[in-house]
């Protein structure tokens, strides 16, 4: 693997600031650009939110961030994935590798250090080609279309809804990484 994942800690704040600032142009087209967000992100980690940072195994650089957000337990066991990748790793395939590790962790049982989820969603603006490519590369299915779903870039934006359940992910449920 060219990447590894782990939860954020306050000592990541400087690397996060630099990565987001450097990548502001491509992130800002689709997501808020918040270089100072890491301390608050660390504080908000809990039952409803787990964040994974993706690091390059060779040089230790921050490749990207994936929020596993809106975690709902009970009979749903569901969450939404939101992600950004950072320069200079953007478009090198590393974020896709990191996202595979994140999906593995989401479906791994909680007793084995995973999140024990059953279903994941990715909601993407229809014009966001790189993100749609990411969802499809991970095997997410297009389930539907949600008008005016999220307030981004000063407007309520329509989203395509992609989803994946544990049954569709090789190795899930057996506690193994694929």
Q: Which residues sit at the interface with ligand COA, rule CB under 6 A?
A: 26-27, 30-31, 83-85, 90-96, 124, 128, 130-131, 133-134
For the bound state, the minimum distance from the C-beta of residue 174 to ligand COA, rounded and expressed in Å, comes to 25
Q: Which is nearer to ligand COA, 116 or 146 (CB)?
A: 146
Q: Give the largest CA-CA distance in the chain.
A: 43
Classify the C-alpha dihedral 49-104-52-22 as positive or negative: negative
Q: Which is nearer to ligand COA, 82 or 105 (CB)?
A: 82
Determine the Cα–Cα distance for residues 100 and 177; give it in Å rounded to an integer: 9
For the bound state, the minimum distance from the C-beta of residue 108 to ligand COA, rounded and expressed in Å, comes to 21
For the bound state, the minimum distance from the C-beta of residue 103 to ligand COA, rounded and expressed in Å, comes to 13
For the bound state, the minimum distance from the C-beta of residue 77 to ligand COA, rounded and expressed in Å, comes to 22
Geometric angle at alpha carbon 148, from 144 and 153, rounded to 5° = 120
Q: Which is nearer to ligand COA, 24 or 174 (CB)?
A: 24
Quickly tell me which residue has 């389930």 as its tokens.
Answer: 143
Phi, psi of 123, deg, nearest 5: -105, 125
């Amino acid at each position: 693997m060219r990447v590894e994942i782990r939860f954020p800690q306050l000592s990541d704040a400087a690397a996060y600031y630099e990565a987001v600032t450097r990548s502001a142009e491509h992130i800002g087209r689709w997501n808020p650009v918040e270089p100072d967000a890491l301390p608050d992100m660390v504080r908000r980690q809990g039952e409803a939110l787990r964040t994974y940072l993706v690091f390059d195994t060779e040089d230790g650089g921050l490749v990207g961030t994936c929020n596993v957000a809106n975690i709902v337990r009970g009979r749903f066991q569901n969450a939404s994935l939101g992600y950004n990748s950072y320069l200079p790793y953007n478009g090198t395939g590393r974020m896709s590798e990191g996202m595979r590790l994140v999906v593995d962790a989401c479906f791994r049982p909680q007793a084995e250090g995973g999140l024990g989820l059953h279903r994941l969603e990715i909601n993407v603006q229809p014009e966001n080609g790189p993100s749609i490519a990411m969802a499809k590369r991970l095997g997410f299915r297009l389930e539907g279309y949600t008008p005016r779903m999220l307030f981004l870039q000063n407007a309520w934006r329509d989203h395509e809804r992609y989803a994946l359940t544990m049954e569709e992910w090789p190795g899930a449920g057996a506690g193994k990484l694929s």
